[in-house]
Structure 1
Amino acid sequence: MQSHFDINSASLAGNNKRGWKVWYQLLRPHTLTAGFVPVLIGTALALQSYNIHLFLFLAMLFASLLIQAATNMFNEYYDFKRGLDNENSVGIGGAIVREGVTPKTVMTLALSFYGTALLLGVYICMQTSWWLALIGAICMTVGYFYTGGPVPIAYTPFGELMAGFFMGVLIILISFYIQTGFVSSTAVLVSIPIAILVGTILLANNIRDLDGDKENGRKTLAILFGHDKAICLLAGMFIVSYLWVVGMVVAGLVSPFLLIVFLSIPKAVKAIKGFIGKTMPVQMMPAMKATAQTNTVFGFLLSVGLFISYFF
């Protein structure tokens, strides 16, 4: 069993490699693409017809990443408080139970990230519209109650839906709006496959944790569907994401260059194969990673397709 990591040592100078790793894992970096990709896509969509305001893009990007990282820390904090995490838990989390980081430190960091995101949000509103302050406040509230509060969203069948909407659809539309001043139907349609793929990250996590979540009274989609059917659902979500892009191209709504997203299919296939026949959480970790990578590669390629279509 790993020895506890001294929190004071971890916060000292960066010559302690293990300390940096603790803080890096606390961010749960494999999930941060859910904050980065939608901003990139919304901005790439805006580029089709408008000049991009670089500082607004950067402010939106960092605010989105900070909110996602803070949400991960709220997850870390409340999973510990509810006794769901222990030293034998599988996953990139566990800074509290395995590394000796105090719960207070995790919560303080999360609130600090929220505070910084709030300041960036004020700048964005000053340059665009104060209506975004209300939307941003709702996003941050949902981020907190995803694992916080008496009935966390993550414990219900609506976790994937809420994550997909707020971290997929809404962020893409806000990123588009702050550059253009309006929301287009094309932006809404392009956001759908990204929302689905953000949801797959949560579904993959819940498939891995199915047995433990069931013991602790959660009612996630993975639990309601069961292990095998949840994998089928995951595969179906991947398929719909790719077919959605094909549909938009066939309908003439977007450029055929967006079909470049099909280069990410091997990652999706790897994710599904990684879950099939696996029952132990540690065995499913590579599949979880492949699921997150599918979202990253798909979103990045979608952005590339949008950028290429701008020049052609």
Structure 2
Amino acid sequence: MQPQTTPHLPTVNKEKGWKVWWMLLRPHTLSAAFIPVTIGTVLALHEGSIKLSLFIAMLVASILIQAATNMFNEYFDYKRGLDNENSVGIGGAIVRNGIKARTVLNLAFIFFGIATLIGLYICLMSSWWVAVIGIICMLAGYFYTGGPIPIAYTPFGELVAGFFMGNVIILIAFFIQTETVTMKSFLISLPVALLVGAILTANNIRDLDGDKENGRKTLAILLGKKNSIIFLAGMFLTAYLIIFILLFSGLTSFWTLLVLLSTPKAFKAVKLFIGKTLPIEMMPAMKATAQTNVQFGFLLAIGLFIGHYL
């Protein structure tokens, strides 16, 4: 069943030229790719020197996989009749800007192909085990919205996205530089995973009504809107709490408390959801959630970097 256009919902503007392709990448989600790579690489500094070429390769490959995942989302949601011209939060290349669905799908596979080639270089410079993990990550990206039972349509979307885009990417970025994985690197990946999951929670709160009409069973639908907002606030709170635990356990320095500078943005994200009913009204809240991830991640990376040298 295709969702009906709400009469009083403002029409989403069509993009032109290069902006069509830029919006197809869903740039507000790409922080979920480059933040973990940066943190994992900075953590590797604590173990010794790093190879800049490996950092750049990992960064580009992760962004390509995230962008391809977004394209698969665009393609499969269109094929299932879930997107229309006024759908909020999508790239809109297919339903608004006239790009052929097959073109979007092919471009996603091209991005996967380029990421695979970059992955071969990473493996040559580190370990072939990275190839196994990379393939699993790409499969997760495809089946997030592809396949008979898309992960995004279940209550496990946040868990899967947080695990792969938070824990796994940080640990791979750390491993290719150090050839090891430590408990410290895993524990520091936890708050990042939570905030990646928070982006998905915010997305699902915004799309709750439409997802329910189309038979999805997201965590936001199971919890309900009010409890989902509380859950989002809990994810933010837990991420900050973990930083304090790491500090008091001696695993990180005082400088990691720089992440507290991102708390106003987290508070704003939660506040902006309250009392809103239309998806387009909740876009600022979702944007603030993504910004919290960016601010928290970069501040954590800076704190780890400074703490290593001071």
| Residues 52, 270 of structure 1: alpha-carbon distance in 2 compared, 3 angstrom cutoff | same
Q: Partner of 1:241: helix, strand, or coil?
A: helix
Tell me which of 159, 163, 166 is aligned to 1:168. Answer: 166
CA-to-aligned-CA distance 1:179-217 (integer Å, 9 cap, x gap) = 001001000000000000000000000000000000000
Give the structure-2-normalised TM-score.
0.95
Mapping for residues 14-25 of structure 1, pairs under 5 Å: 18-25=16-23
Mapped pair 1:272 → 2:270: yes
| Residues 3, 201 of structure 1: alpha-carbon distance in 2 compared, 3 angstrom cutoff | closer
Q: Is the 8 A contact 1:4 1:100 kept in 2?
A: no
Mapping for residues 211-250 of structure 1, pairs under 5 Å: 211-250=209-248
| Per-residue deviation, 1:310 | 1.7
| Residues 97, 246 of structure 1: alpha-carbon distance in 2 compared, 3 angstrom cutoff | same
CA-to-aligned-CA distance 1:94-116 (integer Å, 9 cap, x gap) = 11000111101101110010000
Percent of residue pairs bearing the same amino acid type: 65
Aligned letter for 1:127?
M
Q: Match of 1:15?
A: none
Cα separation, 1, equivalents of 2:62 and 2:98: 28
Q: Match of 1:10?
A: none
Mapping for residues 1-312 of structure 1, pairs under 5 Å: 18-312=16-310
Give the structure-1-normalised TM-score.
0.94
Q: Match of 2:8?
A: none
Cα separation, 2, equivalents of 1:133 and 1:239: 35
Aligned letter for 2:178?
T
Q: Is the 8 A contact 2:20 2:91 kept in 1?
A: no
Cα separation, 1, equivalents of 2:300 and 2:259: 6
Q: How many pairs are equivalent?
A: 300
Unmatched 5+ stretches in structure 1: 6-17
Q: Is the 8 A contact 1:3 1:99 kept in 2?
A: no
Q: Partner of 1:242: helix, strand, or coil?
A: helix
Aligned letter for 1:87?
E
| Per-residue deviation, 1:90 | 1.3
Q: Partner of 2:17: helix, strand, or coil?
A: helix
Unmatched 5+ stretches in structure 2: 1-10
| Per-residue deviation, 1:91 | 1.7
| Per-residue deviation, 1:93 | 2.2
| Per-residue deviation, 1:92 | 3.9
| Per-residue deviation, 1:167 | 0.4
Aligned letter for 1:288?
M
Cα separation, 2, equivalents of 1:3 and 1:293: 23
| Residues 247, 291 of structure 1: alpha-carbon distance in 2 compared, 3 angstrom cutoff | same
Cα separation, 1, equivalents of 2:257 and 2:81: 45
Considering only aligned residues, what root-mean-square deviation do their CA atoms show, in Å? 1.1
Cα separation, 2, equivalents of 1:285 and 1:88: 13
Cα separation, 2, equivalents of 1:4 and 1:104: 20
Q: Match of 2:5?
A: none
Q: Match of 1:14?
A: none
Aligned letter for 1:25?
M
Q: Partner of 1:277: helix, strand, or coil?
A: coil
